[in-house]
Amino acid sequence: MQILFEDNHCLVVNKVAGLPTQAPSHVPDSEECYARGWLMKNKNRTEGRVYLGIPHRLDRPVSGVLLFAKSSKAAARLAEQFRTRQVEKTYWAIVPNAPQLPSKSLESTWIDHLEKVEGIARGRVVKVDSPGSKRAESRVQVLGHEPDWALLEVKPQTGRMHQIRLQCSHRELPVLGDLTYGSPFALAGVRGMPLIALHARKLVFLHPIRFEPVSIEAPVPFEWDRFPIGMGLRMALGLS
């Protein structure tokens, strides 16, 4: 587990793609489980429990900045920041290079209405007036491209399920490896765990006790070195 930031109130890790953020207590393989184990070891505790709040989550195949709270007070304050959209979230996504990409020099705004598909863990884009639909907004910019692929920077302004994945797919720009939403092939990471080329690159929040801005950035996973992308994207990602 890679620790990006830790103090008495917060723990921030670089989530591994393929691991769930949280899992039932009888399932030991999750970022929450590893974070608890790290805290137990760090505190030299061999029994009992440590507090670990989860104010937000990342999809299982997504990597990047994941924030935990180490006290109930911190958890409540951080959860309120996410609920009221005070947290700035920045993602990187690799998608096909296509004419419908936003202009590289300008930031575009994507607005859609989404709904969850009943009975399965996926969503869909629907009409504005569809009952139960929720508005999804993201700010999008192209950071780099080459003949086949492009690197997007996406800043979601709302927090809908699978928001970035759905909005990209709706524009025929499926995230690399995302079979659920239209990628032509899958990607595998550590121990064969499924991953997609969507990375929570940066998180900016107010410290829950000091109320100072905290900005955390996560390096892209080493698996991205093996993605079928060209030199242009490798340079943009710093992989060359």
Tokens 């060359």 belong to 240
What does DSSP say about strands 63-69 and 198-206: parallel, antiparallel, or unpaired? parallel
- Domain with residue 185: its CATH number is 3.30.2350.10
Q: Total structural domains in the chain?
A: 1
pLDDT for position 194: 84
Q: 3-class SS at 114?
A: strand
pLDDT for position 40: 86
pLDDT for position 193: 81
Residue 135, CA distances (Å) to 69, 83, 115, 163, 173 in order: 28, 15, 9, 10, 20
Q: Which residues contact 147 (CB under 8 A, 6 or more apart)?
A: 97, 230
Dihedral sign of CA atoms 38, 41, 45, 47 in order: positive
pLDDT for position 78: 97
pLDDT for position 44: 58
The DSSP annotation for 43-109 comes to TT--SS----B-S----TT-EEEEEEESSHHHHHHHHHHHHTT-SEEEEEEEEE--TTSPPTTS-EE
pLDDT for position 45: 53
**What is the pTM for the complete model shown?**
0.93
pLDDT for position 37: 87
* Strand (E) or helix (H) holding 170: helix 163-170
Name all contacts of 230-236 with Cβ < 8 Å and 24+ positions apart. Answer: 230/146, 230/147, 230/148, 230/149, 231/146, 232/144, 232/145, 232/146, 233/94, 233/144, 233/145, 233/146, 233/149, 233/150, 233/151, 235/144, 236/143, 236/144, 236/151
pLDDT for position 84: 95
List, in sequence order, every residue forming a beta bridge with 176; answer none if it has no partner: none
Would you please indicate which residues are annotated as catalytic (active-site) residues? 59
Q: Which domain holds residue 18?
A: 2-237
pLDDT by position in tens, the chain (length 240): 899 999 999 999 999 999 999 877 666 688 988 888 888 887 755 555 789 999 999 999 999 999 999 999 999 999 999 999 999 999 999 999 999 898 887 899 999 999 999 889 899 999 998 998 999 999 999 999 999 999 999 999 999 999 999 999 999 999 999 999 999 888 887 677 889 999 999 999 999 999 999 999 999 999 999 899 999 999 999 987
142 with 134: CB under 8 angstroms? Answer: no
Percent helix, strand and coil across the chain, each to the nearest 5: 20, 35, 45
Share of the chain above pLDDT 90, in %: 72
pLDDT for position 48: 58
What DSSP state is assigned to residue 226?
Answer: G
pLDDT for position 47: 53
**Nearest alpha carbon to residue 219 among 17, 6, 9, 10:** 17
Q: What is the 3-state secondary structure (H, E, C) of 92-110?
A: EEEEECCCCCCCCCCCEEE
pLDDT for position 213: 97
